[in-house]
Amino acid sequence: MVWSSFFSLRDLGVPMVTVLKNLTNLLTISGDWWLHGKTYGPPVWATLALMTASALCGAATDLAFSARGYGWQLINCGFTAAYSLCLRGAMDRAQSATVGRRRLNELSMVFYNNLLSVPLIAPLTLANGELLRVWADPALKDPRFAAAALASAGLAFGISFASLWFLSTTTATTFSLVGSLNKVPVALVGLLAFGAPATPQNVASIGVGLAASAVFVLAKAGPVARGGGERGGARGKGAR
């Protein structure tokens, strides 16, 4: 998921990447239905339709079109959806295997989630000789770089902690849709900070994404959500 996002950012602007990531929701809700037997009410589907419209609108008006960038971003959407779906299923299986069938706490989940990435990263760093180059990099002796690296690590820990805690209390689809809320401010910052072309059409696509987020929040807080907007079905092997 992280690896493919870097490749997409090489050829696409930040606003375009954030808008296209809304397509992840389509894959996530499909996987949630297939693997976990979850079904959703009309407000959630309306939110999904608005987010998809936002992505298509942004893609149609992107002046910096790159087939390679779009390809990598679609791959990234697939990995992102698979990540949330697999992790949600792993949380359920881990709970059934713990003493007293208690849910893993957030610190344990962050620890295992990052520990399992080491066997994948270590061979790549050794094969490319990056480990030795990192230790020899003069930037490590710069206090400003060390402070920035520590701040980045702290923020990354906070993101992992909050994300895993939230995912453990809800479904993969809700996690994905709520996660799309951050796309609007990130897209706006990208327009301002990186000089991406701000056409009326691109700004409108961001506005549609914001409207979709508002519809979802109202749907979850309204009578439809209290009446059972999310329902567990019997579809799929992972249905509960």
For residue 190 the two structure tokens come to 């990208």
The answer to whether residue 159 is domain-embedded is no
Q: How confident is the model at residue 239 (pLDDT cuts 50, 70, 90)?
A: very low
Nearest to 209 by CA among 19, 74, 60: 19
The CB density around residue 214, as the number of other CB atoms within 10 Å, is 13
**pLDDT in the model for residue 75:** 93
Question: Which tens digit of pLDDT belongs to each residue from 67-78?
Answer: 888 889 889 999
**pLDDT in the model for residue 235:** 42
**pLDDT in the model for residue 107:** 82
The answer to whether residue 130 is domain-embedded is no
The answer to whether residue 155 is domain-embedded is no
The SS3 call for residue 167 is helix
Q: Give the Å distances, CA to CA, from 122 to 154, 171, 199.
A: 22, 32, 43
Give the whole-angstrom CA distance, residue 182 versus residue 129: 36
The answer to whether residue 43 is domain-embedded is yes
Nearest to 106 by CA among 158, 159, 154, 164: 164
Q: How confident is the model at residue 63 (pLDDT cuts 50, 70, 90)?
A: low
Task: Name the DSSP letter for residue 233.
Answer: -
Stretch 80-93: mean pLDDT, rounded? Answer: 82
Nearest to 88 by CA among 30, 168, 162, 166: 168
Domain range for 45: 2-100+171-232
Give the whole-angstrom CA distance, residue 148 versus residue 162: 21
Q: How confident is the model at residue 96 (pLDDT cuts 50, 70, 90)?
A: confident
The answer to whether residue 179 is domain-embedded is yes
The answer to whether residue 105 is domain-embedded is no
Q: Are 183 and 25 spatial neighbours (Cβ–Cβ below 8 Å)?
A: no
The answer to whether residue 195 is domain-embedded is yes
Nearest to 92 by CA among 159, 199, 14, 167: 167
Q: How confident is the model at residue 150 (pLDDT cuts 50, 70, 90)?
A: very high
| Strand runs labelled E in the chain | 38-40, 230-232
Domain count, the chain: 1
The answer to whether residue 149 is domain-embedded is no
For residue 6 the two structure tokens come to 């870097």
